[in-house]
Amino acid sequence: ESATMGPVALLVLCLSCLLLLSLWIQSSGRRKLPPGPTPLPIIGNLLQLDVKNISKSLSNLSKVYGPVFTVYFGMKPTVVLHGYEAVKEALIDKGEEFSGRGSFPVAEKANQGFGIIFSNGKRWKEIRRFSLMTLRNLGMGKRNIEDRVQEEACCLVEELRKTNASPCDPTFILGCAPCNVICSIIFQKRFDYKDKVFLNIMERFNENVKILNSPWIQIYNNCPTLLDYFPGSQNKIFKNVDFIKSYVIEKTKEHQASLDIHNPRDFIDYFLIKMEQEKHNPHGEFTIDNLTITVSDFFGAGTETTSTTLRYALLLLLKHPEVSAKVQEEIDRVIGRERSPCMQDRSHMPYTDAMVHEVQRHLNFLPTNLPHAVTCDVNFRNYLIPKGTTIITNLTSVLRDDKEFPNPEKFDPGHFLDEEGNFKKSDYFMAFSAGKRMCAGEGLARMELFLFLTTILQKFTLKAVVDIKDLDVTPVMNGFASVPPPYQLCFIPV
Ligand code: HEM
């Protein structure tokens, strides 16, 4: 009998040691970190977090632990910043220190650290600087970005006209337009909404967003080894990234053959010029790998975000006909019925500008932002945050601040207007985040939202299919993004 007790006792002993060891590792690292709920070994605070609504769980924890606290997603400590003051102090005042990207094992495996969204250090700096400059240059060119978005707005409206004022779910059409704007910027040309290549690109990105956005991914991301036991979705992501990679490589070859360095047409042309300039630099970042993943990042970051915001805007406009009427009055007065809306109009249209901001504030698309990381050991409010620690900024706590935006749960463009009806800027508007990692496509996104929405409202009146009292406009949490509930509407030509 004693012969069988031996191994069992040994096992129990080993497990207890392991447990103690992990507790000791956790508590020794915790001494100088911000306070937080006591983590269990291995699973950390996962039991205290609702994976379907992380932002809400974090807000609840901040009521106990204050604006700066630590939670353990598994073994890994994550510092959470809650409220405008803490978020601003980190992302803006200590911008450099907080400009790292937090780990995202699934994306890291697919992107291998290339590109812009998930890269870090020198690579991130160079690719980001180049991307921003290229967007700016393309914005000023002969066929500038505004022309491209206006062209897409016309096509979008024509597509909506084909619905013949009958009830439709706008998801597909509103998904095409932002995707095509990215195509136009990257590849110089837009596609027909029925083009097979275009539909293929869209589908693959939508699939990736869906997988990356499933609640399970939060678990995967914190226990990367689990990934290897569930290869299904992971392989799909790789396949989709490979598809876009080979498409970009094919297009890049075509571009190389027709490149005129004095007349860059699009993002790929600018990248090729930069590659040529840097070809003798052995540590250069302007490589085919960085080109393909950066392009893939632009699609990933620039399509679903903008189309979801457009879809939510139309839902809110349906729910609030008094807001739609005011926007349409402003369109009539400033633009009229004949010419296409342009960006110059925006400064004369404070109500419409406020409406767009309010849609984004209310949607709160990325409630917990993308994760950041500190790039060195940082002293923050007398805590010591070690280099590499993941930082979560709870943007909900900023966008729903009840002093800055009284009645924060209410959709009210007045949140961005002063008493005279002028547009009122707010530092609390962090839908695009803030600081050095802030959305690289902010200008483009705001241009699309303004031009698409004004063009739609210039040509159509929106009609609900159900009694608007029964329209539910509460965003649904879907992994780390919030999205509008599904709905239908009619586009009635004016
Ligand atoms: C309504 C539309 C959009 C919203 C709400 C949005 C929001 C965001 C947010 C919250 C981040 C994370 C910032 C951070 O880490 O602190 C981000 C990053 C990014 N966005 Fe956007 N975005 C939108 C549209 C676009 C578009 C159209 C593009 C196209 C170029 C784009 C490109 C990027 C890129 C490249 C990053 C990564 C920046 C980096 O890591 O340095 N976004 N966006």
Task: With beta carbons less than 8 A apart as the criterion, state whether 476 and 484 touch.
Answer: yes
CATH of the domain at 300: 1.10.630.10
Domain assignment present for 379? no
Domain assignment present for 421? yes
Q: Is the pLDDT of residue 3 over 70?
A: no
Q: Cα separations (Å) of 349 from 326, 327, 332, 445, 457?
A: 10, 8, 11, 18, 14
pLDDT of residue 217: 67
Could you read off the pLDDT of 407-420 as tens digits, one per residue? 999 999 999 999 99
Q: How many domains does the chain contain in total?
A: 1
The alpha carbon of 38 and the centre of ligand 1 are apart by a number of angstroms equal to: 34
pLDDT of residue 28: 61
Could you read off the pLDDT of 287-310 as tens digits, one per residue? 999 999 999 999 989 999 999 999
Q: What is the residue with the minimal CA distance to atom 13 of ligand 1? A: 438
Domain assignment present for 102? no
What is the average pLDDT across 228-236?
72
Residue whose C-alpha is closest to residue 448's, from 265, 283, 308: 308
The alpha carbon of 100 and the centre of ligand 1 are apart by a number of angstroms equal to: 15
pLDDT of residue 247: 93
Please check if 168 is assigned to a binding site: no
Among 131, 305, 310, 433, which is best to mutate for testing ligand 1, by the most ligand atoms less than 8 A from CB? 305
Question: Can you read off the two tokens belonging to residue 409?
Answer: 């749960």
Choice between 29 and 33, residue whose per-residue pLDDT is larger: 33
Domain assignment present for 52? no
194: number of Cβ within 10 Å: 9
Could you read off the pLDDT of 62-106 as tens digits, one per residue? 999 999 999 998 888 999 999 999 999 999 999 999 999 998 777
439 lines ligand 1 (CB under 6 A): yes
312 lines ligand 1 (CB under 6 A): no
Task: With beta carbons less than 8 A apart as the criterion, state whether 105 and 220 touch.
Answer: yes
Three-point CA angle 303, 412, 321, nearest 5°: 85
Could you read off the pLDDT of 403-449 as tens digits, one per residue? 999 999 999 999 999 999 999 999 999 999 999 999 999 999 999 99
424: number of Cβ within 10 Å: 16
Domain assignment present for 200? yes
Domain assignment present for 64? no
Domain assignment present for 100? no
Domain assignment present for 339? yes
What is the average pLDDT across 366-389?
96
Cα 451 off chain centre by? 20
Q: Distance (Å, rounded) from C-alpha 382 to C-alpha 189?
A: 52
Mean pLDDT of the chain, nearest integer: 92
Question: Domain range for residue 227?
Answer: 107-366+400-475
Q: Which residues pair with 491 in a beta bridge?
A: 462
Among 439, 444, 450, which is best to mutate for testing ligand 1, by the most ligand atoms less than 8 A from CB? 439
